[in-house]
Amino acid sequence: MPKPTSAGKQASSNTPRMSVVLLTMDSHLASAAESAAERLARDLPGLHLQTHSASAWRDSDKALAACLAAVAQADLVIVTMLFMEDHFLPVLDALQARRDHCDAMVCIMSAPQVTQLTRMGKLVMGRESSGLMALLKKLRPSAKNKDTGSDTGAPSSAGAKQMAMLRRLPKLLRFIPGTAQDLRLFFLTMRYWLAGSEHNIEHLVKTLVHRYAQGPREPLRALAQPEDPIEYPEVGLYHPQMKNRISEQLSDLPGHGRKDQPAVGLLLLRSYLLAGNTAHYDAVIHSLQARGLRVIPAFASGLDARPAMDRFFKQGTGAKIQSLVSLTGFSLVGGPAYNDASAAEVALSELDVPYIAAHPLEFQSIEQWGDSTRGLLPVENTIMVAIPELDGSILPMVYGGRPGPAGETCHGCDKRCTFPSGPRSQDMFTCSERTEMLTARVERLVRLRDKPRADRKLAIVLFNFPPNAGSVGTAAYLSVFQSLFNTLQRLSLEGYQVTLPDSVDDLRNRLLHGNASQYGTQANVLHAIDTGHHVKHERWLNEIEAQWGPAPGKHLTNGQSIFVLGADFGQVVVTVQPGFGYEGDPMRLLFETGCAPTHAFSAFYRYLRDDYAADAVLHFGTHGALEFMPGKQTGLSAQCWPDRLIGALPNIYLYAANNPSEGALAKRRGAATLVSYLTPSLTHSGLYKELVSLQQSIERWQQMGPDQAQDRDSLTTLIREQAQSIDLSVPADQAADPTAWIEQLQNQLLELEYALIPEGLHVMGQAPTREQRLGTLKVMADAMGLTGAQNASLMEALVDGASEVQLNKQFSTELPAGDKAQAETLRQLVRSNRLLGEDHEMQGLMRALDGRYLQPAPGGDLIRNANVLPTGRNLHGLDPFRMPSAFAVRDGMRQADKLLARYQQDHQALPETVAMVLWGTDNLKTEGSPMAQALALMGAAPRFDSYGRLAGAQLIPLAELGRPRIDVVITLSGIFRDLLPMQIRLLAEAAFLAASADEPLDQNFVRQHALTYLAEHEGSTMECAALRVFGNTEGAYGANVNQLIDSSCWENENELGDAFTQRKGFAYGREGRPVRNTAVLQSALASVSLTYQNLDSVELGVTSIDTYFDTLGGISRAVLQAKHQRDGNAAEAPPVFIGDQTQGEGVVRSLTEQVALETRSRMLNPKWHESMLQHGYEGVRQIEAHLTNTMGWSATTGQVQPWVYQQLAQTFVLDPAMRERMAQLNPTASAKVANRLLEATRRQYWQPDAETMTALLRAGEELEDRLEGIQEGLPA
């Protein structure tokens, strides 16, 4: 903890004493303030200056107590830069109490609650300061362009104008008597602080003493001889080897004009330079120079770096630099106060060089960071990582920060740095290891940019998860081999030395077969790493061997060598990433929270980095295992495995545009530059086969009149038989009036017909066909409010080439004229059609490989956000300070009401407790709607501060809520935990507030259950009893229920529930730190009435990916076990509901209904499975995955109907032609389909008749025989 800065001479007993207390967020000014304090003590005997840092009192009760005690005795209080509630709320009461009992209190550049405490002579804010606050608002930076009134970004000159105004104001007010003189000193104080050198801090205090010292301290007025602030350049250059260190001339920089050294631009904070607190900057500068790079370190005053970029980094329309590195830790335009990403994007696009945003640790010490498993604090994660990503930044990493206590040691790497004591010991400390990694990464990007394409070596990484399942070369929504073939062709055209395969089939065969049979591997062996070589060169061998045994381990090895799978295509190698290693090991899956990678995994990346010496690596599709390896969540250190494995190797990552949350992990943990790719085209499911016949029968029945009663009865019988033949439910009572159930059948068919499904997989480098574009645009238009014939005719015209003018004419005839919203809808659709027809993805990939700036892009679903286009850009999420948005809060309340209404419909009562799963992806794409839904159920809402930033939770009064507060047990994904730490605290605070509210227990189930827990657990606290947010511990991901299901390495369903509670049983309280608390979790789960999750991605269903049943299925099983523990055999499984948000206003379905809908609209639908099988090998793998995921729901909830397995078996295994077709395309996955169906029968999820079972066994044996035949000759 940094000590409060203080200094003073020994004063005689009759010397007046004056205590000056400075409270600030700017801890980097501590040393300058300490030096100023020494001068003040010399010139003003008896004056005692103390500086207290917000980052210190936020972390330490002892530091807070010292600060409060100092304020209580202060004669003069100066407060600066306290605009975050975490910083000012702990001291606000003390400031208010002291305000009228000190000589003066000056509060500048802080939150309004703080600023209004200012009392300087006749200037008393909060009483007569409305005009002053308006003036201060003009000085406050904004992302809005005040010249044009638009939100497209403030001009780069805006900050300079504000600073000029601040300089003029004190001069203008000098000759105006009365309050104006106090106002003049208020603005003069701001000028002193913004140029915060030792001299200016000293004379800031002298100025205030000279004017305001009172009573026994008044003699100090005469001694204080303040000088005007020293003015420093607003925009300039800094270099530790330059005379005076600061200049405005490029020619003063060392090495200026050298053409043999690439130049790197650095952005620095002016306040650090003026305070002389530059050791962390100096280290980066020296390290870059040692790597043969020329450095241009520049700064600008205020919060906008563009003036420095314009002046020092640009050369005509191009750039003088090869890379731009911001060392500020803040956004390019706006700093910590706000963000103007659109203005930043324009400026960075003009430079067109990689933009790296590194950050010093401002809110914790290096020692605290090094010892933590979390890494960055929530506020650091938001301000220093998430917000700069909106500008298009890459490679977020720590390079220095506040030192720990003198004599303490940092454990962030094996250097074990010890923090010094003595003068300036609390200045910024350089993390030498991180600095070297930062500059190494910068150098590699610069060298990549400069290297001719023909000389570059590129490594492409494909994924294989789960292993041994016909999964080599699969990625979410992507046709990998076709896309890879197109990519190799494009690389060759762009000048890379590529030996092209003859075709996609040739590419696949060379990779999957080749010498695989010789080595007994799943793919061709590109390289064999000798065990001796591995032992000699594996830096972390001891850690790996502690987990996986002696080298070479048991994965991808023959006992003498470690295999690297892949194939060579000239200067490009295509490789296969090894697996985690614990797949199929039930004990590791149950208890492992994060371990070292296998020998094979670490050797794989070392081969790419060092042996093959790639210039860049391209991870091909969503997603691999690298970014999920153990380590800190963000702000990685040298102890973190993703950082160790990727090293300084430039990492380009093709990532699905609809998955910004997992993409953020790849950026922050895997040092990746993302290049987005489109998800598959969308279409309506339509009806097929027997469904069409049933629909026709119902339509005929509806058209019959009263005089056709006999025919109508016959048709009713036919409809009943048709429905039963395809397992649609009809009433058993044939005498009942059929109108109601036939109408219900009709509604089911309509829902099925218009369900949205993806068509096949996306292909990189291949524009969607006319029909694919038409289908997607129709879905988009429908989501935008254009429906029916209007939609169809307009979209047909659009894809056939109609201009916007022509469409507007048609638009005005078919729709009401003059509607601005409709005009904007049309503009969006015209733009989307154009962009869908263009290839931006290959272009973006080539830009990334050339080391150029990749423009930022929001992630999300195309039908919700047309700005996802064009793809081929650098994905980012949302500003966490703004989540959940006002729209999300309203939508969350609507969806919560729908869930409660559905439960009441089925159970005639409100639920007491809802167990809800929250994912990062769904929240980022919807501005936080799912988390807002959880808040709404509890009767809570987010609370925002005066800057519009998330500050906490607040309760909605019961009278306004109109119903009881529902208890909510929240399960977080590991990615939600990593990306949205402030929202974790929001949810935890909401639960605590609800549990603490003095309300009737029948109107507050949160409090009712918390009090029950307290009664049963003597000595517990409300803080503990109110814990409702659960997830993995830091650095761990998933419940591993999915991996147990996939590997079939479980005996009974209770093992699945145990895995969930073991891995997801860490409670997150209001401080946001995880603590295992099994007792609270079991108590909360036992009260659960239903389990629930939203479905927010139209491309996905609950049977598409295994993470749905991993979390929602896992908690459903855990709830049943908790109820069984409490109620014995009377326990009943909770109903499971899905909130389908993919269309319209959303609908709540039971899990049984959702699985049935997806099975019919996707798996059994020829439109879906034929579009998948067009992609061959990968399509079969997708079909197998859907089946495995369906069985995962059976295992965890028991809520999948048997007919699902019967019809899947008939479609894919018992049909000889389909079985043969799939076996030829992907024999491994085909065999797995049959085996999974047989497993479902063994586990009693489906009991086919004897004939079906015999046929299924025979088909399974045939597929296994084929697989053995293909792999004949492999070692046993």
* Position with higher pLDDT, 1038 vs 737: 1038
Average pLDDT, the chain: 89
H helix runs in 1174-1249, sequence order:
1177-1197, 1202-1212, 1216-1225, 1227-1242
- What mean pLDDT comes out for the span 912-921? 95
Residue 1195, domain member (yes or no): no
Judge if 840 and 705 occupy the same domain: no
- What mean pLDDT comes out for the span 689-701? 91
pLDDT at 822: 74
Contacts of 870 (CB under 8 A, 6+ apart): 835, 838, 840, 857
In the chain, the percentage of residues whose pLDDT exceeds 90 is 66
* Position with higher pLDDT, 1189 vs 794: 1189
Query: Does residue 997 have a pLDDT over 60?
Result: yes
Would you call 299 helix, strand, or coil by DSSP? strand
pLDDT at 418: 87
Judge if 427 and 476 occupy the same domain: no
Judge if 723 and 862 occupy the same domain: no
Q: Are 396 and 668 in contact (CB under 8 A)?
A: yes
DSSP 990-1050: HHHHHHHS---GGGBHHHHHHHHHHHHSTT--HHHHT--EEEPPTT----SHHHHHHHT--
Judge if 459 and 439 occupy the same domain: no
pLDDT at 474: 85
Residue 83, domain member (yes or no): yes
Window from 46-55, 126-135, 934-943 with minimum mean pLDDT: 126-135
Judge if 1100 and 1244 occupy the same domain: no
Residue 157, domain member (yes or no): yes
* Position with higher pLDDT, 324 vs 12: 324
Judge if 595 and 721 occupy the same domain: no
Show the beta-strand stretches assigned E in 726-771: 756-758
- What mean pLDDT comes out for the span 152-180? 59
Judge if 309 and 404 occupy the same domain: yes
In the chain, the percentage of residues whose pLDDT exceeds 70 is 91
Judge if 921 and 796 occupy the same domain: no
Judge if 462 and 432 occupy the same domain: no
Judge if 129 and 62 occupy the same domain: yes
CA torsion angle 1057 1063 1065 1068 (round to 10): -150
Question: Which residues are registered as beta bridge partners of 498?
Answer: 570
* Position with higher pLDDT, 409 vs 607: 607
pLDDT at 484: 97
Query: Does residue 507 have a pLDDT over 60?
Result: yes
DSSP 900-919: HHHHHHHHSS--SEEEEEE-
pLDDT digits (tens, 9 = 90+) for 446-477: 999 999 999 999 999 999 876 765 788 889 99
Window from 224-238, 595-609, 782-796 with minimum mean pLDDT: 782-796
pLDDT digits (tens, 9 = 90+) for 1060-1117: 999 999 999 998 889 999 999 999 999 999 999 999 888 889 999 999 999 999 999 9
Residue 886, domain member (yes or no): no
**With left for phi above 0 and alpha for psi between -120 and 50, is residue 495 left, alpha or beta?**
left
* Position with higher pLDDT, 1173 vs 144: 1173
Q: Are 119 and 104 in contact (CB under 8 A)?
A: yes
Using omega within 30 degrees of 0 as the cis cutoff, is the peptide bond preceding 884 cis?
Answer: yes
Residue 908, domain member (yes or no): no
**Nearest residue to 1212 (alpha-carbon basis) of 1261, 1170, 1268:** 1170
**Nearest residue to 979 (alpha-carbon basis) of 875, 1077, 844:** 875
pLDDT at 617: 98
pLDDT at 9: 44
Judge if 437 and 541 occupy the same domain: no
Judge if 242 and 367 occupy the same domain: yes
What's the CA gap between 631 and 642, in Å, rounded?
A: 7
Which of 581-590, 838-847, 917-926 ranks highest by mean pLDDT? 838-847
Helix (H) or strand (E) holding 178: none
Window from 61-75, 126-140, 658-672, 1165-1179 with minimum mean pLDDT: 126-140
Residue 1026, domain member (yes or no): yes
**Nearest residue to 677 (alpha-carbon basis) of 622, 735, 626, 625:** 622
Helix (H) or strand (E) holding 50: strand 47-53
Which range marks the domain in which residue 622 is found?
453-677
Quick one: how far is CA 989 from the chain centroid?
A: 21
pLDDT digits (tens, 9 = 90+) for 1000-1036: 999 999 999 999 999 999 999 999 999 999 999 888 8
Q: Are 390 and 348 in contact (CB under 8 A)?
A: no
pLDDT digits (tens, 9 = 90+) for 180-238: 788 889 989 999 998 888 999 999 999 999 999 999 999 999 999 999 999 899 999 99
Domain boundary among 814, 838, 871: 871
pLDDT at 1202: 95
pLDDT digits (tens, 9 = 90+) for 222-280: 999 999 999 899 999 999 999 889 999 999 999 887 888 999 999 999 989 998 999 99
What's the CA gap between 538 and 533, in Å, rounded?
A: 8
Residue 898, domain member (yes or no): no
Contacts of 879 (CB under 8 A, 6+ apart): 339, 382, 386, 387, 390
Domain boundary among 398, 428, 449: 449
How many structural domains comprise the chain?
7
What's the CA gap between 746 and 696, in Å, rounded?
A: 10
Beta strand 1136-1140 pairing with 1147-1150: antiparallel
Query: Does residue 1211 have a pLDDT over 90?
Result: yes
Q: SS3 breakdown of the chain: % helix, strand, coil, rounded to 5?
A: 50, 15, 35
pLDDT at 5: 44
pLDDT at 843: 96
pLDDT at 1267: 76
Residue 879, domain member (yes or no): no
The pTM (predicted TM-score) of the whole model is 0.90
pLDDT at 1057: 94
Which residue in this structure is represented by tokens 């309506």? 684
pLDDT at 167: 63
Domain boundary among 449, 472, 497: 449
